[in-house]
Amino acid sequence: MGEQKAVIKDTDMAEEMQQQAVQCALRSLEERGVEFDVAARIKREFDRKYSPTWHCVVGRDFSSCVTHETNHFIFVYLGHLAVLLFKCG
């Protein structure tokens, strides 16, 4: 997939958690490539690292309106793919 530049569109996460989200997404894209598998891997890693319940959407074209826990939201573009990751529940 090559070098992807992360463009964070919106977040309220701490800097360290943002970096973890971007790195996890990049690793997942390199290893999996299929959007569903990428989303599932990011979700599982964040559930394990930061306790459940995380939700992740990965795709090229989607809209969203979500409720999330404070300081647990990021929306980032990695190349042409958007990654929405948030904790709720």
Q: Can you give the pLDDT at residue 38?
A: 96
φ, ψ for residue 58, nearest 5 deg: -130, 130
Q: Supply the CATH number for residue 80's domain.
A: 3.30.740.10
Chain mean pLDDT for the chain = 95
What sign has the CA pseudo-torsion 9, 12, 18, 24?
negative
Residue 10 in any domain: the answer is: yes
Residue 31 in any domain: the answer is: yes
Mean pLDDT of 66-83: 98
Residue 1 in any domain: the answer is: no
Instruction: Residue 77: give the domain boundaries.
Output: 6-87
Residue pLDDT, tens place only, 27-64: 999 997 799 999 999 999 999 999 999 999 999 999 99
Residue 1: pLDDT band (50, 70, 90) is very low
pTM of the shown model: 0.94
Residue 14 in any domain: the answer is: yes
How many domains does the chain divide into? 1
